[in-house]
Structure 1
Amino acid sequence: MMKGLKKWRLFSILAALTVFLSACGKEQLSTLTPAGEVGKEQLDLMILSTGIMVLVIVVVIAIYAIAIVKFRRSKVGENHMPKQVEGSHTLEIIWTIIPIILLLILAVPTVVSTYNLADVKGMTAKDQEGNAKNLTVNVTAKLYWWEFEYPDLGVVTSQELVVPTGEKVYFNIKASDVKHSFWVPAIGGKLDANTDNLNTFYLTFDEKSEGLEDGVFYGKCAELCGPSHALMDFKVKSMDRDSFNTWVDSMKATGEETASAEGATASQGQELFEASCMSCHAVSGAGSGGGIAPNLTTFGDRNRVAGFLPHDEENIKAWINDPQYFKPGNKMPQPETINNGKKFTDEELSALAEYLLGLSVEK
């Protein structure tokens, strides 16, 4: 009976592990399916280090098993004393030299890779006309959202990083409030965003994101930064250079003006937005960063509300009506604060949602 129970326990554990591991390997968010040069190099280092660790474990287990089998009491008797090796210079040399060799095998490629990935000289490279040769993005992490500014292009956006494929993209990483960490698992990297210094590195995006399950790669904050840390996501859209240039032109075309709304309900939403939300949110992709709230120019092109909710009218309304319920600690005010002490009515929420869904540069 007990043997049967033990078998079922083992089966349950294996089943649970199968469910747990079923999420591994998704192209849009897994380090095990890298889609960029940096991610592939980091995966190679992970495989190397894992291989060394497995080798050490196998050797230790093998020695342990041999000792148990060879010197078991039933075989050698009660009074057998194995040969003592204390003070053996040969053994001491062996177990000193082997770890040194293993550490060198691991350390040399790791150090070389670290220095290569930290090479950001291309960030300041200029062509003959004085224009930047490579794309640079200023990333600012905030509670609990991300701002992406393209200083050489005069474009700024939030929550969705848009990049060209097949070239190095350089990043300046910083935080505006507390420490965060910028990470796109499928692309590589993971670099701290600090409030007191600027960190720089580069990534390459080898594949277009449009063929992925959600049409984007997923980015994360990898540093515990507050009660809504787990919900501090961003998305990455990678596209060919021509499509990226078109996107930049569309962002610039929004100018410094408020986006216009089509339809009576959307017009009502625009009026409410300008009265209650415009002091914090921008609806133009042209300009520079530094906003106190996410830029909403491309809100209609996103696939998530607040970074994690499904992108539909009901979730937009729920988010506006009570942002603290969904993301505790975020800096978006409750509706009473910006609407003369009152909650928005359902009609007003619907109008705001329709207006926001109409903010697009891709449709």
Structure 2
Amino acid sequence: MSRKGLWRILAVLALAMLVLAGCDSSKILPSDALNVLDPKGTAGEKSLDLIYFSIAIMLVVFAIVMAIFIYVLVKFRKREGVTLDRSKYKDHNTVLEIIWTVLPIAALVALAIPTVKYTFDLAEVPKGDDVLVVEVVGHQYWWEFKYPKQGFKTAQELHIPVGKKVHFKITGTDVLHAFWVPALGGKMDVIPGRVNELTLDAKKAGLYHGKCAELCGASHALMDFKVVAEEQADFDKWIAKMSAPPAPVVTAKEKQGEEIFNSSCIKCHAGMDPKREGPDLTKFGNRQSIAGILKYDEKNLKAWLKDPKSIKPGTKMEKFDFLNDQELDALTQYLMNRK
């Protein structure tokens, strides 16, 4: 390849980066959604400690190499009227060769010790009655969260108490995924037919964002979920609300929506039935988002029902374009009042 051709390729890449830098992703993710440098959990803090420690080692190595490089560059530079006498320089220096062999090994050992320790610490399964166990199931393209001790399940929205260990048992149903909450800790592979385990905690109440970190299809980038970390009292209230029977259907419009749901939706969203393909919508009205990426409101719910594949390409959810405006409004009201 000619030099001119290489410059053309570099120019195109630079232009592409400039265009992508201007893309607006705020409708999907907030600006701090993937911020791993401000951890709010034990696992995240230990990972950040390792990052800083490895950077410190690399900076020391870089400083030493650059100092030697600059020294050699200055001392042995070509100067007018000066001829370098190579005969007085040795071909090798045993002491120096030992030093630059031992130092990298020492640096690797220094980095390996805390890495191995943290790896075993984070892999240890917590015990005790105060440990919350959550079963995570990855689907294309949504997340299912089961609370076995509490006896219910939800989707796209994970609630955890602040200051307590949460032990996740993670598996999948279709393809490979990866469970990741950047602010709380590292990633864990989601493998169909296998259960992987991960322990996280949140030290501060707040809304944290989760992602799928394994390319899993057309809507991989949109396979998001929310983690709501709340104080124990608020978490207990949420548990009680999710465990209680759903609110009764009252208005005529809601009853019409219930009929539409039972005739068109229940096959894929049949509550606790393990054979269903879609998420449990029993308490859909308590969620903070739609499909994990849209703001929870009536307009977005209708847009999702009308044509979900335009929002999440490749989703198994079929569009409800056969409903007229009145029927769509009734179904929307019914779903939003399922609390």
Regarding TM over 0.5, the answer is yes
CA distance, structure 2, for counterparts of residue 318 and residue 226 of structure 1: 22
Cα distance change of structure 1 residues 62 and 163 upon mapping to structure 2, 3 Å threshold: same
Cα distance change of structure 1 residues 191 and 288 upon mapping to structure 2, 3 Å threshold: farther
**Aligned residue in 2 for 1:348:** 327
**Aligned residue in 2 for 1:202:** 199
8 Å CA contact 1:155, 1:288 repeated in 2: no
Aligned ranges 1:167-246 → 2 under 5 Å: 167-209=164-206, 216-246=207-237
CA distance, structure 1, for counterparts of residue 51 and residue 323 of structure 2: 51
Task: Confirm or deny that 1:165 pairs with 2:162.
Answer: yes
**Aligned residue in 1 for 2:102:** 97
**Aligned residue in 2 for 1:61:** 66
**Aligned residue in 2 for 1:4:** none
**Aligned residue in 2 for 1:128:** none
Equivalent position to 2:54, from 34, 49, 59:
49
Report the RMSD for the aligned CA atoms in angstroms. Answer: 2.8
3-state SS, counterpart of residue 146 of structure 1: strand
TM-score, with structure 1 as normaliser: 0.80
Cα distance change of structure 1 residues 151 and 82 upon mapping to structure 2, 3 Å threshold: farther
Q: CA deviation at 1:27?
A: 5.9
8 Å CA contact 2:173, 2:193 repeated in 1: no
Equivalent position to 1:269, from 246, 257, 261:
257
Equivalent position to 1:137, from 134, 137, 141:
134
CA distance, structure 2, for counterparts of residue 117 and residue 53 of structure 1: 25
Deviations 1:178-223 (A, max 9, x none): 11100100011210011131111211111111xxxxxx21000011
Aligned ranges 1:5-84 → 2 under 5 Å: 29-74=34-79, 77-81=82-86, 84=89
- Aligned residue identity for 1:270: E
- Aligned residue identity for 2:268: C
- Aligned residue identity for 2:293: F
Q: CA deviation at 1:54?
A: 2.2
CA distance, structure 1, for counterparts of residue 30 and residue 255 of structure 2: 44
Cα distance change of structure 1 residues 40 and 291 upon mapping to structure 2, 3 Å threshold: farther
CA distance, structure 2, for counterparts of residue 252 and residue 236 of structure 1: 19
Q: CA deviation at 1:175?
A: 0.8
Q: CA deviation at 1:304?
A: 2.2
TM-score, with structure 2 as normaliser: 0.85
- Aligned residue identity for 2:101: T
Cα distance change of structure 1 residues 239 and 83 upon mapping to structure 2, 3 Å threshold: farther
Cα distance change of structure 1 residues 85 and 324 upon mapping to structure 2, 3 Å threshold: farther
Moved more, 228-237 or 346-355: 346-355
Deviations 1:247-281 (A, max 9, x none): 11211112xxx653343333322221121111211
CA distance, structure 2, for counterparts of residue 155 and residue 236 of structure 1: 17
Q: CA deviation at 1:228?
A: 0.5
| Uncovered stretches (5+) of structure 1, i.e. residues with no partner | 1-11, 126-131, 210-215, 336-341
Cα distance change of structure 1 residues 249 and 91 upon mapping to structure 2, 3 Å threshold: same
Q: CA deviation at 1:39?
A: 0.7
| Uncovered stretches (5+) of structure 2, i.e. residues with no partner | 1-13
Q: CA deviation at 1:61?
A: 2.2
Deviations 1:126-174 (A, max 9, x none): xxxxxx4421000000000001001111121111011111111101010
Moved more, 258-267 or 190-199: 258-267
8 Å CA contact 2:269, 2:278 repeated in 1: yes
8 Å CA contact 2:38, 2:183 repeated in 1: yes
8 Å CA contact 1:164, 1:239 repeated in 2: yes
8 Å CA contact 2:187, 2:213 repeated in 1: yes
**Aligned residue in 1 for 2:310:** 325
Cα distance change of structure 1 residues 85 and 115 upon mapping to structure 2, 3 Å threshold: farther
